Amino acid sequence: MEEVVERENLKRALRRVRSNRGGPGVDGMTVDELPGHLREHWPAIRGELLKGSYKPQPVKRVEIPKANGGVRKLGIPTVLDRFIQQAVMQVLQEQWDPTFSEHSFGFRPGRSAHQAVARAQQHVAEGCKWVVDIDLEKFFDRVNHDVLMSRVARRVGDKRLLRLIRAYLNAGVMENGLVSPANEGTPQGGPLSPLLSNLLLDELDRELERRGHCFVRYADDCNIYVASEKAGHRVMASITRFLGKKLRLKVNESKSAVARAGTRQFLGFCFTARRRRVSPKAKGRFKKRVRELTRRTKSMRIEVMVERLARYLKGWRAYFGFAETPTEFHHLDAWIRRRLRCVIWKQWKRSKTRHRNLRRLGLGHPLAHMTAGSNRGPWAMSRSKGLQIAIRNAHFDLLGLPRLEPVRGA
């Protein structure tokens, strides 16, 4: 605990909490108010931590929609508890992370989802054509506190720190003004939960290593690569038993499967030994979001629409640009530009306005007259020769629309 409350560790924790922002917890305190609160109250809080008597507040229940439907329940600690959890996590992570498996990639410094996908693809290239895709049922909500704390106690001798971690697990959840006890689970939303989940699932990693399996784990997503379907079903059965008996975790049978590696997605990608692609589900979510951002019914200047769209596209490209499918990105770029041409055509409304704008953009009079007078709908017109000549790809480049297709020579 002395390492947790050491000055430099606390300064690092405060910088991280402030940079992460996030909403207030049950006490309503914001991230910007935290430094002032610490200046006034930190000596007393520090004393409670060192005595082992600090009591965290309940987490605030927040529900966010999942990409594949349903909701994900988050537990948002107060900003003070986020600060303390961050300080604890920094000390423990420095000690624990070097001991974790090389097959684990989630929530670890210097490791990423892209590395996990590349490692999985490597296993397929080496001849493991079948995957045992294990999905843990409501993992963060179902973690057994006693099982988890027994693993923490093997690594932590300071009883004050053990009491603090247990207190965070048992802090409870405030929903609609009422606090419900937390008998299981680690609240998603706190800095400490990812590290505790890695600690618990490190036992799964070690068991898979002991058995000599090729596998990749990213948080609670675990894929085991085997040479045959028969071996896959055998591994699925034995690992399901192991998880239930040793860690008291349940495998979600409806989402888990033994299948050919190329037919399953992992972290938004599907792949063969030779090529990574954006998974169909991820591409479907992408198109749904682009449609929402480019609705023709929105009364919004095209410059503003492109600005909002660009923020989403840059983030999407930063992650899914790891795919090895430039042709697919080229088609998505063309589809996005077509949607924007459709919006522009809809906004021009009247034939006179359309003709005037087409001429202003350099389209010759005969083609501008024929295009403006067409009675086809906006979506059909977005592919018309006249509109594509007038609103060229360079027009969207000038508006700041990023391209998904990698630039040649870059």
User: Does position 201 have pLDDT exceeding 90, yes or no?
Assistant: yes
Q: What is the mean pLDDT of residues 33-51?
A: 95
Report the pLDDT value the prediction gives residue 272, as an integer from 0 to 100: 84
Report the pLDDT value the prediction gives residue 409, as an integer from 0 to 100: 42
Locate 358 and state its tokens. Answer: 């087409």
pTM of model > 0.85: yes
User: Does position 240 have pLDDT exceeding 70, yes or no?
Assistant: yes
Locate 359 and state its tokens. Answer: 């001429």
Q: Per-residue confidence at 328, pLDDT binned at 50, 70, 90?
A: very high
8 A C-beta contact, residue 144 and residue 248: yes
DSSP alpha helices (H): ranges in 79-192? 79-96, 113-125, 139-142, 145-153, 159-169
Strands (E), 107-194: 130-135, 173-175, 178-180
Handedness of CA 101, 77, 166, 174 (dihedral sign): negative
Q: What is the mean pLDDT of residues 229-252?
A: 95
Report the pLDDT value the prediction gives residue 69, as an integer from 0 to 100: 63
Handedness of CA 128, 130, 133, 134 (dihedral sign): negative
Report the pLDDT value the prediction gives residue 124, as an integer from 0 to 100: 94
Q: Per-residue confidence at 241, pLDDT binned at 50, 70, 90?
A: very high
User: Does position 330 have pLDDT exceeding 80, yes or no?
Assistant: yes
* Least confident range of 94-103, 188-197, 210-219, 220-229: 188-197
Locate 42 and state its tokens. Answer: 């930190």
- Dihedral, 17, 18, 20, 21 alpha carbons, nearest 10: 120
Report the pLDDT value the prediction gives residue 101, as an integer from 0 to 100: 96
Q: Per-residue confidence at 366, pLDDT binned at 50, 70, 90?
A: very high
